[in-house]
Each structure stands twice: as C-alpha cells, then as structure tokens.
Structure 1
Amino acid sequence: MKILQINKFFYPKGGAETYLLALISLLQKNGHEVIGFSQANKNNINIKGQKFFLEEINLDKFYLKNIFKIGRIFWSFQAKKNIKKLIIQENVDLVHLHNIYHQISPSILPELKKAGRPIVMTVHDFKLVDPYYTLWAIKNKKSAKSWLAKLLMALEYRCHKIIGVYQKNIDLFIAPSNFVKSKLVEAGFDLNKIIVLPHFAELSYNSSQPEEKNYIVAFGRLDVSKGFDLLLGALAKLTDGAKLKIVGSGPAEKSLKKLAQDLKLGNKVEFSPYSSKEKLTSIISQSLFVVFPSLVHETFGLGIIESYFLGKPVIASRVGSFSEIVTPETGLLFEPADIDGLKTALETLIHNRELRLALGQGARQMAEEKFTGQQHFDKIIDIYKALVKEAGTKKFQ
C-alpha cells in the first residue's frame, strides 16, 4: 500500500513527531511505501515527496515582517497547489494526517477529498476543540501566549469551525485515548467517525537491567503546563528520600532551576538536556520510578508507556488519558496540583521496594499486552484497508 503521511514537521520535535516517525518506520518495515508532505527543513528525515514540501514558516516568534504570511495560517494556496501535484504524481492509496494547523492549513483537505483518497487523522492535541490547544486540569489557568497569537489562533479556529472543513473532509479520526474521543464528541464531532487507537513504543525489557539506584526521573518538555515546579515543591517537603533527575529542555528551564535553588534542594536535583533515546533509556532503567506531574489534560502518555516497557512504575497526575493507562497494577495517581498528594505518593514508592517491584512487573505486563509496535501495526493496517475498500480506490495489494 502507498500511504501519504502529512505533518507540519518531519523531524524529531515533539510527541506527534515521535509517533509519526515511529509509524513510518513500522510501515516501511512491513513492506509499505510511505510518501511525506510537510515543510522543508534541513533536519527532516529522508523521505519521498520532499520536492513538494512547503517553504518553512517559523511561528515560534512572531515578527511584523511575518504579517504577510498570516493568510497561510488560515488557508494556504501553496499547500493546496503542491498537494494536488503530489497526488497526481504519486497516486497514493490513502492519506494519514497528523498536525497540519498553521503551517500547512486545512486547504489541502478539499483537494484530497476531490481526488477520492480516503483521509484519516490522528488527533495529537486538542486544537480541534480548543483554539489554544491546551485543556487545563486546574482552575484559573490561562494561555501564556501573546494577545496577538491568541487572537490569530481564535480567528483561525472560528473560521475553520464555521466552514466545517475538518468534519466534512476527514473520513475517520483516530483518538489515542477514550478521553480524546469524549472531547471530540463534546465538540460536535460524529461519534461514528472516531476510533480509539493508543500509541505504541518500540522498547524491550532487558532481564539483566542494572540494579535500581536511589533516584527518580521526570522527563519531557520543560513547560509550565507539565507541573515540574509542583514536583520540585513536593521533593522539598520530603525529610529524606531519593534524588531527582529531570531530563529535557524548554521555556521553563531557567525558572525551574531557580526554583530548585530557592527551595535549597542543592544536589538533590540534577537537570540534563535530552541527548538521545539510548541515554534516556539508560537513565530510566536505573531509576526507582518515573513521575509525570502534568497540570493539563494529556491526549495519551507515550513517556508512561516507554517507562512501562522498561519495567518502571509511574506516579502521574489524574489528568486526561493518564487515568486510563496508570492503574493500581502499574502506578499511583494523585490529583493535579495537589502537592501533598504527590508528596505522599513519592514517599510510598521511595520507601516500599516490594510495591515498586510489583508495580514495575505490572507495568511491563501491560505494555507488552497492549502497546507493542506489532499490535499497533495490525490495528492501523486494518483501519487503512477498511477505508481504502470503502473509498473504492486501488485494490489493496
């Protein structure tokens, strides 16, 4: 089968790209041809279709000189033109969308629909139900984006919602969790066009893993929404316990390091940037457990699943999909922003080795039963086949 994968980034950038690149590798490994459509960037993976990629637009920082590119956020005529050429040249069987907001825009959707290609979209965030992407799990939290960025995002969201461009043109939405599915339905999306398919991880447990060392791990993008400040505060409340290793970088890095100093945590906390998957895997493998203290509702929890594959239990806030994958057999949950609840959970796992090992075993069992690459491939290829058959495109080979 020839599958067109579309995302605004085609290099390791965030959770959506982690999934996308792993999916591409999985499909290719199983004999399927993958075409890409994205923005041009020197860090992109090598993939067929790059001559149709769009000129990159950087929206991380908005300058007045970018004012003429605002139209592309709402409706990119260049993207529409390029996707038409790509479809004609490659004659793909199916289109799988990921994140196309802003840099690509939904202008490509009517063109894909006109070409008679079935279209499936994996929902990686909450942009389809909230203009600012983020659903806070605690009250009185607002987006930190500038007023101009918020205005443009609100206008973009409203325009696309009014014309129903996503609902009209996309045949099926893949939700990584039941929580995402429920939010889509609440926002008016057709229940019959949504299917739940969790993400996957390609990690294997090594029975000869090193003995656990006296530290815990938290990793990911260092953003105010991820609750790392709460974790530092809870750690400061412990009279004794383990060291904390925070792996990652992001806009909150400087303030988190200052907070650690202010709390007089000293050498109890170690910050390090993400360097490689192998290095992170090694750090997790030797830890006591892993903590995910997010303050926002999450669409999935790939980091949790990766920790499970390495036999590590998890402490996580009760947000979004986390409560679906963190069970009494795999870890502990606490209420979002509840510093005392987090402190209690930390103390429980730090001082109870027997419980840690039992939860770690349960975590690994869940990962191997539900979240392997082969299981994901079998399910997603069935989805692809059904859509291709329904659309009446080329017979699946």
Structure 2
Amino acid sequence: MRILHIVNLGFEAGGAEKFVRMLRDGQTARGHQVRVVALEAPAGGRTVFADDLVPPVGGGPIGKLAGFVWHRGAHREVRRIMREFQPDCVHMHTIGGFSPAVFPATRGTARILTIHGPEDWTRKLLRWQVADNSGRIAPAALPRYLHLRLLMRPAYRLLGLRRIDGFAAPSRFVAGLIAADAGRVPVRVIPYAVDQAFTPAPVTEVWQTAYVGRLSPLKGADVLLEAFDILARTQPKARLVVVGDGPDRERLQARAAHLVAAGTVEFRGWLSPPEVAECLRGSALLAVPSTTPEIFGLTALEALELGRPLVASRIGALPELVGPDNGVLVAPGDAAALAEALAGLVGDAERLARLAEGSARRAEAFSLDRCLDEYEAWYREAAAAHGHP
C-alpha cells in the first residue's frame, strides 16, 4: 500500500511523533510505500524523519489568526503531494499546524485520524490547552479558549472533520471523550505500541525513580519535585532522574536547586529512545505525575515493556495501564500522596520485583506487530470503500 502520514512535527518531540516514526519504520519493513509530511520547525539536533516539510503559518497576529483557520500554503503543498504520491490511505495525526485545510486537501482518499492529545476540534479537551494545573481557565487565557471554542472548532467541522473514514483512539478514555465530536464517524480503540529499544530487564537499582516527559505545567514535574523534597527527609538514599525538555525546565531546575546540589535530583534533558530505555533500566520505577488527563501515556507503556513498576496519577487513561498488580495510583496534584506512594516502593526490592512482573504481563498486549496489523487492516478496509483494492 501507499500510506501518507501527516503530523505537525517531523522529529521526535514527544509521544505522537515517536509513534508516527515507529509506524513508518514498521510499515516500511513490511513492504509498504510510506511518506511523512510535517511542518518546518527547529529540531534542536534531533533527527528529522519527515520526507516533506511544509512552511508553518506565518505573518502578523491577524495573518496567523486567519492562517490557522485556512493555511493556504499547507493546502497547496498537501494537494501537490497527494497528486504526486497518490496514497491509498492518508493517516492524520496532530494536524493543528496544517489547519482545517488538510481535509479538503486530502478529499477523495481513505482517511484515518489518530488522536494524540488535545486538538482544536475536541470540545471536551479544549480547556486542557489553556487551563492551569488546577484545571481553571485564567482571565488572560479566556480569549484563546473562546477562539478555540467559537472559531476553530466550527471551522474543523465545516471543512470536513466528520467526512473522514474513522478516528483512532489510543485508549477507551479518549474514545469516550471524542464520541460527540465524531458524530457518525466510527471510533476504534487502537492502543499505542512500544519502541523495540525497550526490552525487559530485571530491577537492579532500587533507589532511583525516573521521570520521562515534557517539562511543561500539565505534566506535573513540579508536583514530583515537591514529593521528592518530602521523601528526602525520610529516605535520603532516594534519587530522581528527570528526562525531557520543555518550557518549564529552567524554572524547575531553579526550584530544585537544593535537591540537585544534594545529589537527590538530576536533570538529563532530552534523550534518544535507546538512551531513555537505558535510563529506565537503571531505575526502580517510573513516576507519571500528570495533573491533566493523559491521552494514553506512551512513557508508561515503555515502562511496562521494560518491566518497571509505576506510580502515576489517577487521571485520564493512566488507570488503563496501572493497577495494584504493577504500581500505585494517586490523586493528581497531591505531592504528599505521591511522596507516600514512592516511600512504599523505593528500596523495597521484593515489592518492586513483584510489581515488575505485573508490568511485564501487561506489556504483552501492546506489541508493535499487533498495532501494525490493526492499522493495516483498517487502511485496507477504508481504501476498499474508496475503490482502492
């Protein structure tokens, strides 16, 4: 088959891009012709896997406002690629930077859209884009919320959101959230798969906790640092490794300066998938302290594949991955509860080993071959409906 993937960023900035890269590699290995279209953006030294790069929305404030409703350049370039590549199926991912123009540009071909996070058209997810850690929309953020709710969401629906062949949700949680937005368009739950760099390994380091994710307010890294401030008073051997980058990094490093000086916390920045895997292998468990609902939790899945227990927020799709057999769930934003959960795990080799076995058992349901099979079957079904054999 000829498969065209469309995603905002063509390098691994987060879980969505990592998933697209994994699909591309796996589908190519199976003999499919695969092409990836993304927007031009600074990659920060990371490998760009996209085949085509489209200029982003430009101009002044008014020009950008109009551009995110109809990105003329993206429409023109995607149409050109469609004529040139003639895909059997278009698989869309994060598309906000392309604007709703991506739907008319791909009309006439089988199209599937995977939900990776809050998009401009997802009503129940709109507030995630503007709310603070407590879930409130500050007065300064209200204009953006109204822009999304009253302009962008209607634009997506008007220009073709409900004329695609299907929505793929990585979790049951997300499938429920987007049901009203999807209307009569089918929604299927197809969980993510894990990178092949993540292979099971026994727990050997019982004092180290890992955090892997974007350093932004929604991910709860500040709550985790507060929890370690509490934990260090009773568990001086406990250590935290923070992997990732983002707009909050400098603020978080400044806040944790005393913990860094004491050797309790280490910031490692962005790491490649093999480096992330190595970091998790050297840790006793993974902390996922998200303060807003996770669409799926790809990092949590990677921990499962390695056989690592998890301490995670009881929010979004995380309870679909974490339970009493492989970790502990705590209330989001509760640093004291998070510290207590960590205190019950770090240093306890027997309990860590038992929970690690639970994670390894759960990981069996998330193989890459399973994911590739499900998408490929859907591609063929949707393509056949459009007259492609």
TM over 0.5: yes
**Residues 36-115 of structure 1: matches in 2 within 5 Å?**
36-40=36-40, 43=43, 45=48, 48=51, 50=52, 53-57=53-57, 65=60, 67-101=62-96, 103-113=97-107
For these two proteins, the number of residue pairs brought into alignment is 380
**Residues 295-310 of structure 1: matches in 2 within 5 Å?**
295-310=291-306
Post-superposition offset of 1:268:
1.1
Structure-1-length-normalised TM-score? 0.87
Post-superposition offset of 1:139:
4.5
Counterpart in the other structure of 2:267: 271
**Residues 138-287 of structure 1: matches in 2 within 5 Å?**
139-142=134-137, 149-150=144-145, 152-160=147-155, 163=158, 165-167=160-162, 169-185=163-179, 187-190=180-183, 193-203=186-196, 211-238=204-231, 239-240=234-235, 241-261=237-257, 266-287=262-283
Post-superposition offset of 1:342:
1.1
Counterpart in the other structure of 1:120: 112
Identity over aligned pairs, percent: 27
Rounded Cα–Cα distance in structure 2 between residues aligned with 1:35 and 1:264: 43
Structural RMSD (CA): 2.7
Answering whether residue 336 of structure 2 is matched by residue 337 of structure 1, we say no
Q: Secondary structure of the residue that 1:350 maps to in structure 2? A: coil
Rounded Cα–Cα distance in structure 1 between residues aligned with 2:71 and 2:339: 49
Q: Which stretch shows the higher mean deviation, 86-95 or 153-162?
A: 153-162
Post-superposition offset of 1:292:
0.5
Rounded Cα–Cα distance in structure 2 between residues aligned with 1:351 and 1:366: 23
- 2:375 alignment partner, one of 372, 376, 380: 380
Q: Secondary structure of the residue that 2:17 maps to in structure 1? A: helix
Q: Which amino acid counterpart does residue 16 of structure 1 have in structure 2?
A: A
Q: Secondary structure of the residue that 2:9 maps to in structure 1? A: coil
Give per-residue Cα distances to partners, 1:40-99, cap 9 Å, x unaligned.
457573555x2xx422347xxxxx845423322101223223322222222210111111
Post-superposition offset of 1:314:
0.6
Contiguous gaps of at least 5 residues in structure 2: none
Contiguous gaps of at least 5 residues in structure 1: 59-63
Structure-2-length-normalised TM-score? 0.88
Give per-residue Cα distances to partners, 1:236-259, cap 9 Å, x unaligned.
222115111111121212222232
User: Contact (CA 8 Å) 1:131, 1:157: kept in 2 or not?
Assistant: no
Counterpart in the other structure of 2:12: 12
Q: Secondary structure of the residue that 1:7 maps to in structure 2? A: strand
Post-superposition offset of 1:385:
1.3
Q: Which stretch shows the higher mean deviation, 77-86 or 257-266?
A: 257-266
